[in-house]
Structure 1
Amino acid sequence: MTTRFTTDHEWVRLEGDVAFIGITQYATEQLGDVISVELPDVGKSFKKGDEIAVVDSVKTAAEVYAPVSGEVIEINDGIEDAPQIVNDEPQGGGWFVKLKIADKGELDGLMDEAAYAKHIG
């Protein structure tokens, strides 16, 4: 179960051929308190780099981009009802969507934890 990161502060964690996607702790710190999250419909497919969700916070609205290509197989509707979970557990219970990943090779272009820490440092 490896977590990879984008330069736009999304994370992706692969479990088998299912990719959990969310935003990083750093992203939530930049956004402030999350007040709503718009998630895609189950069954919708995305290409790497497509806008997959929108986060509204007290400071701004921010797009969330798909770090990998795939089809949405589940959304975390708990964060639609209680968006503060994104702030409380951004890389745990605050995940946004699960994608059936189309190409595991796309993970190779993403940063590991050490590289991401250096990126935000």
Structure 2
Amino acid sequence: MSASADLVRQFWRAMSANDWTAAASLMAPDAFTLWPQTGEVIPSARFAEVQAAFLGDGDWQFEEMALVDGGNEVVTDMRVTNLPLGILARVITFHTIANGQLVSQREFWPDATEIPAFRQGMLVIDPDHARL
């Protein structure tokens, strides 16, 4: 694994510890996180504040499902849970690293969807395998 992948894993460990300040400390001063689905851009200076504003502080867990190490570009697929709030989600994040710091992140939070009618009954449904 590259130093970039190690940095990204360090970021997710801080997130899983619900230590938003530690996660933000891994970001360059001019870094940002982009949530394309809502158009929000979170500058690194506000990252910890935004994370702390979510309900369920202290109960967020992030489990790595996959990591693709492309050197200065790392992609993660994380399983996100907050059991007291009943949240089970996935986040796909594209991390860009420069000079040993996160410089940008693009996060996609896909919603679970219903199986289309034309495919119902055609395939095996296995949430354990899919780890939804």
Q: Same fold (TM over 0.5)?
A: no
Q: Which has the higher contact order (CA 8 A, sep 6+)?
A: 1
In terms of fraction of residues, the more helix-rich structure is 2
TM-score, length of structure 1 as denominator length = 0.30
TM-score normalised over the length of structure 2: 0.29
